[in-house]
Amino acid sequence: MNGKKGDDPILDIMHWKASRFSSTADALIAEIVQMGGRSELEHTFNLFDPPPIAQFEGELRQLRDRMLKDRKGRGWEL
């Protein structure tokens, strides 16, 4: 793994287990990444300058829910 703590918000959360945004946002990001959504996260958000936290959490929740629905529809066991 390249980089150190603080270089990448996703690595901070997933590898370093560091709080980056809020406990809710960090947990949603971890769920999304575990479902294979890292690329979608990086294309959807500027993780170095996210929207206000309440808005960010809501948008992360929507992304997570959309991914869950899509994967369940394709027969994934979650």
> 34-43: per-residue pLDDT in tens?
999 999 999 9
Q: Output the CA torsion 73→38→17→21 (10° steps).
A: -100
Instruction: Answer yes or no: is pLDDT of 1 > 70.
Output: no
- What one-character-per-residue DSSP string does 43-76 give? HH--TTS---HHHHHHHHHHHHHHHHHHHHHTT-
As a whole number of Å, the CA-based R_g of the chain is: 13
Domain ranges for the chain: 9-73
73 vs 55, residue with greater confidence: 55
**Percentage of residues in the chain having pLDDT higher than 70:** 96
Instruction: Answer yes or no: is pLDDT of 29 > 70.
Output: yes
Average pLDDT of the residues of the chain? 93
Amino acid at 34: Q
76 vs 51, residue with greater confidence: 51
